[in-house]
Structure 1
Amino acid sequence: MKKWFELEQRGSSVSTELIAGFTTFLTMAYAVIVIPAVLSSTGMDFNGAFLATGLTIIVATLIMGIFANYPIVIGPGLGLNAYLAYSVVSGSGHSWQTALGAVCLSGILFFLISLTPLRSILLEAIPASLKHAITAGIGLFVCFIGLQSAKVVVASPATLVTLGKLSEPTALLSCIGLILSLVLMVYRVKAALIVGMLITGILAYWQGMLVLPEHSLVVPNGLEKTLLQLDLSSIWQQGLYSVVFTFLLITLFDTTGTLLGIAEQAHILKDGRLPRARGAFLADATGTVIGSLLGTSPTATYIESGSGVAAGGRTGLTAVTVAALMTLTLFFAPWAKVLSTIPAVTAPPLIIVGFFMMNSLRHIDWQNIEEAFPAFLIMATMPLTYSIATGIGLGFIVYPLLKLLRGKYGEVHPILYLFMALFVFQMTLQSH
């Protein structure tokens, strides 16, 4: 084991890696409740989505840990999870089977791109300001969904949205749960989000809002309701090219940025480059394809992996430990399902994750309107149009347009002009 994971070369030990894996698991365990809860809003069976999410985390993380040997966890991402459920399915009226088909196709494309230099070309073609804006815009979108779920923000015939009645049970308990989670985070409790969810669940039970499950432990079941249910043919029939592109683009940015950030934190970068980077990208791409076949949203590199690195994790043994703990979690599906039915339990993590994603805004030059306004447009329109794809499209149109009008067309990569033309076609000539 020491030889396979290169423990001595990286200055680590088995005990340190196990502790790091346990730490990472505690910080990201909330995802296995929140993600199936969001997916079930599309009509998907909760047990199937829960098992698909857990299995995807296990498989993708094992690939990352064993073959890439990095202390990094991969699983369905919360931002793309919300986009799939609330924009592609609920917002645009597509079936969840069609959405899974788009996920699968984006994963296959990501896999192929990871085998070629095209991945680097795409990353270099997109301006940094737009990349940061996409991340922040998804954060606002996820936060908006959390506030709606909590009934803190409600519909209004006069102003479209307004403040909800905070004395209403769901809104009040959501606010209490949010404050609890924030206090735990301020005190640097590793499992702040999952502990906050559990305490909120106890309060919900005390208020008569939560019914305890009949069985605490069950053999994992329900996967047959989501397994191989994806619909690829409808992608062409319904013209979901922008959806596939959005899944692909965000997965590409998220994986690259998070991987490099955590690798730098773990001191495993060499001359600013990531060794075995291809294996790491292929792990994410494989996870997305497998997840779509099982019945869950696109995978992403979990930023919570940084907590395990902070605890001393330096090798893939940390990731393998997380996968082992996630395997045990699959037997607690009844508890996950009960907690997922209470919006006050799942809304605070959505709001807090949205906050974390806003951190990238500090990298944007707000004094340069050519860079800043397209970024602002992306962030503003994602939640307001309830579509991540629309936000990206508007930003990718306005950015090169401003550069052209300023006579700086040479500063824009040719690929971005191609994206601009495609989005103009998508938004003006094709039916939405």
Structure 2
Amino acid sequence: MFSLSAHNTTVRQEIQGGFVTFITMAYILFVNPAILAQAGIPQEQAFFATVLATLVGTLLMGLYANLPIAVAPGMGLNAYFTYTLVIGEKISYASALSVVFVSGIIFLILSLTPLRTRLIEAIPNTLKLAITGGIGLFIASLGLKMSGILTSDEATLIKMGDLTSKEAAITLVGLLLAAALTVRKVKGAILYAILASGILAFITGELKFTGDVLSVPSIPEGLIVWNPLTAVGDVLQYGLFGGVLSFVLVTMFDTTGTMVAVGEQAGLIEKDGSLKNSGKALVSDSSAMVIGAMFGTSPTTAYIESASGVAAGGRTGLTSVTVGLLFAVAAFFGPFVGAISSVPAITAPALILVGAFMLQTLKQMDWDDFADAFTAFIVIAIMPLAGSIATGIAFGFIFYPILKAFQGKRVHGLIYFFGVLFFIQLFFFAH
């Protein structure tokens, strides 16, 4: 079924690769519910939805696309959902999930047509890299604020918090451990740091377990989004077109970039430079995005942590199936995960370190081209300072084509189109 011999791999190798991928990305079980809880989604619901979206996307990636790539709610996308849509736009989490649902449907339709390739090719690397870097700085700033390392200030907006507080101390210890383990190339560095911070928080009294560690998975709210017409109505009522466009664009090129990177490492790139079964892979991701939105989580994306499983020997969809089954088992540890997720100091190091990883992509930027450099600067500066990923994306799409026009260089017509759409959204529909 998985063509193991053709991929020069074995069942043992595939299971080993899946286990390593699971260890490196299991931190999302702790971090995603913690972020979504701030949007008002019940933590138990967010945990179940996180597991379900990951299970659906990863199993489809394994059984349908036969690729060793895991899918789960994306870091940065969850922050955009909570802080830009729910808190920034002052809408309910149900309406925000409608945006994710509509975005997922559009993404799914694009995945079934050649338009996906044209759209991906139309967006220049400058914007892709700037948005990735900006989101990285945004979620890192969230981690620093959640932990109390940074705090608000009327004069300077932010200032250093009390580093002697328990929250800040636990975060700094966890962050140092995560960074040190990453430097030593230890797989699962973030997960180990979260667990170590959890132990420290338990010793200091910040973390308390009041009930059972194990429980049967449940969904308190049930299906949150199930009617497509209602979902579209929410988008139209609140003018959330910018949110839909941002989700579609970010998930599209984020997933594609990750899949190509992991595919190259696994030797799954065709002669024309495309990834084997890339269409099926995008369908898998977009399907998980739709299912996740229905039950209560932010958009899914392919996880770059899959590269660790490939490095451990994973080459086929059996690796992904292994990851999915391990997440299914993790679903029974909801109370344990919920207790840890409720302490910001435990999950904050993950946000900061993932933010640092995302900023590393900026080394590919052509900093000698000032049009590229200034576009990247404005995107990266706006996102954390304005507290809005969407606003940073909008500024990027507005500035880039204008600066390139003054340079005498042509850009794809779609970039002008998106620039106009974001300009209208930013100046006429922003609340």
Partner of 2:155: 158
Q: How does 1:32-431 map to 2 (within 5 A)?
A: 32-225=29-222, 227-228=224-225, 232=231, 233-271=233-271, 272-408=273-409, 411-431=410-430
Distance between the aligned counterparts of 2:223 and 2:200, measured in 1? 32
Q: How does 1:14-29 map to 2 (within 5 A)?
A: 14-29=11-26
Q: Residue deviations 1:157-177, cap 9 Å, x none?
A: 111111111011111111111
Q: How many residues align?
A: 427
Distance between the aligned counterparts of 2:332 and 2:375, measured in 1? 46
Q: Residue deviations 1:210-240, cap 9 Å, x none?
A: 1124212111113435543785122101100
Q: Aligned to 2:329, what secondary structure does the other structure show? A: helix
Q: Residue deviations 1:233-289, cap 9 Å, x none?
A: 221011000000000000001111000000000011121221211100100110100
Q: Residue deviations 1:85-104, cap 9 Å, x none?
A: 11111122111111100001
Deviation beyond 6 Å, 4+ runs, structure 1 = none
Shift of 1:360: 1.3
Contact 2:97–2:225 (CA under 8 A) maintained in structure 1: no
Contact 2:222–2:295 (CA under 8 A) maintained in structure 1: no
Distance between the aligned counterparts of 1:324 and 1:295, measured in 2? 20
Distance between the aligned counterparts of 1:172 and 1:189, measured in 2? 23
Q: Residue deviations 1:292-312, cap 9 Å, x none?
A: 011101000011100000000
Q: Residue deviations 1:391-412, cap 9 Å, x none?
A: 111111111111223333xx11
Distance between the aligned counterparts of 2:395 and 2:188, measured in 1? 38
Distance between the aligned counterparts of 2:27 and 2:428, measured in 1? 41
Q: Residue deviations 1:127-174, cap 9 Å, x none?
A: 111111111111011101111101111000111111111011111111
Amino acid at match of 1:215: D
Amino acid at match of 2:239: G
Shift of 1:66: 0.5
Contact 1:213–1:335 (CA under 8 A) maintained in structure 2: no
Comparing 125-134 with 207-216, which one deviates more in the overlay?
Answer: 207-216
Contact 2:44–2:334 (CA under 8 A) maintained in structure 1: yes
Decide whether aligned partners of structure 1 residues 160 and 196 sit closer, same or farther in structure 2, where only a CA change above 3 A counts.
Answer: same
Contact 1:142–1:350 (CA under 8 A) maintained in structure 2: yes
Shift of 1:341: 1.1
Distance between the aligned counterparts of 1:225 and 1:166, measured in 2? 41
Contact 2:94–2:224 (CA under 8 A) maintained in structure 1: no
Q: Aligned to 1:91, what secondary structure does the other structure show? A: helix
Comparing 205-214 with 58-67, which one deviates more in the overlay?
Answer: 205-214
Distance between the aligned counterparts of 1:225 and 1:38, measured in 2? 20
Distance between the aligned counterparts of 2:374 and 2:222, measured in 1? 44
Decide whether aligned partners of structure 1 residues 431 and 143 sit closer, same or farther in structure 2, where only a CA change above 3 A counts.
Answer: closer
Q: Aligned to 1:300, what secondary structure does the other structure show? A: strand
Decide whether aligned partners of structure 1 residues 225 and 79 sit closer, same or farther in structure 2, where only a CA change above 3 A counts.
Answer: same
Amino acid at match of 1:209: E
What is the root-mean-square deviation of aligned Cα atoms in Å? 1.3
Q: Aligned to 2:151, what secondary structure does the other structure show? A: strand
Q: Residue deviations 1:153-207, cap 9 Å, x none?
A: 1000111111111011111111111112122222222121111111111111111
Q: Aligned to 2:89, what secondary structure does the other structure show? A: coil
Contact 2:98–2:225 (CA under 8 A) maintained in structure 1: no
Q: Aligned to 1:161, what secondary structure does the other structure show? A: strand
Distance between the aligned counterparts of 2:210 and 2:335, measured in 1? 6
Q: Residue deviations 1:356-402, cap 9 Å, x none?
A: 00121111111111121112111111111111111111111111111
Contact 2:129–2:362 (CA under 8 A) maintained in structure 1: yes
Distance between the aligned counterparts of 1:20 and 1:114, measured in 2? 27
Amino acid at match of 2:411: V
Amino acid at match of 2:120: L
Q: Aligned to 2:288, what secondary structure does the other structure show? A: helix
Distance between the aligned counterparts of 2:162 and 2:226, measured in 1? 40
Q: What TM-score results when the alignment is normalised by the length of structure 1?
A: 0.97
Distance between the aligned counterparts of 1:190 and 1:429, measured in 2? 47
Amino acid at match of 1:421: V
